[in-house]
Structure 1
């Protein structure tokens, strides 16, 4: 897929709506949960990244500061039709590059159990025991980026 583009966007960008739609489809609907309408207002200070294929959002995540120079990675999603093609890996790596350049020291996330191998392969380590969140087993994972 030579025509993939990964870019950082703002909540005002047209691609943000595509990111919300993708997050709803991949992360929420399978659990019977709707993406909250207030997402935009609570995410305005976040750093959003999308993967575009012919102007269609096929991957998304955002980073939000939780402590000075420490950011949480949230809402990582890749369209089911494109999973297993290294798109998620490229997206996370690009977000990490931005974070390192921006002076971020550590990125952490609440990782769903099915995503643990994905994050381990990218160098994330476990920072907690298992816990339940939205009815799914999670662990907190983290990575030093600078």
Structure 2
């Protein structure tokens, strides 16, 4: 299994497919909220299994000197198999290479325990994003 930066047309296509399966189909997020203008300025990450099947994705942006992780998703049949941890570790290492010292994300409430295991801390109130409850989480790296 490998997590890489999407740097060609196949990678971009694959990450859109994974995100669509998770957010549009499984979670019923409206397409206009899932695909946005920030995709063009973000660094996209894609995970492939050992058979070169796309199984996870995320995007990363730098906002006010903080690394922001967004759109983290893993296909249902691959969850609880280390894919999410691989995505987050890869993005954090990338962020460190850019001199980033702090990470943040908005986690769906059901995903908070996962991010806590990775050292993230929840802050503030519950917010609604795409009609799904989230909380801001941060981590020093």
What is the TM-score normalised by the length of structure 1? Answer: 0.86
- Alignment of 1:15 with 2:11, yes or no, is yes
Partner of 1:85: 81
Q: Residues 39-62 of structure 1, C-alpha deviation per residue, up to 9 Å, x if partnerless? A: 375322211111112222101111
1:116 aligns with 2:112: yes
- Residues 45 and 64 in structure 1, CA contact (< 8 A), matched pair in contact too: yes
Taking the aligned partners of 2:36 and 2:13, their CA distance within structure 1 comes to: 9
Question: Judging changes above 3 Å, is the alpha-carbon distance between structure 1 residues 36 and 18 closer, same or farther for their aligned structure 2 residues?
Answer: farther
Q: How many residues align?
A: 140
1:111-136 deviation per Cα after TM superposition (whole angstroms, max 9, x unaligned): 10000000000000112122222222
Shift of the alpha carbon at 1:37? 9.5
Q: Is the 8 A contact 1:128 1:139 kept in 2?
A: yes
Could you tell me which runs of 5 or more consecutive residues in structure 1 were left unpaired when the two chains were aligned. Answer: none
Q: Does 1:29 align with 2:11?
A: no
Normalised to the residue count of structure 2, the TM-score between the two structures is 0.89
More helix by percentage: 2
Equivalent residue in structure 1 for 2:53, among 36, 47, 56: 56
Across the aligned residues of Structure 1 and Structure 2, the Cα RMSD in angstroms comes to 2.0
Deviates more, 1:17-26 or 1:33-42: 33-42
Name whichever of 92-101 and 125-134 sits farther off: 125-134
2:100 counterpart SS class: coil
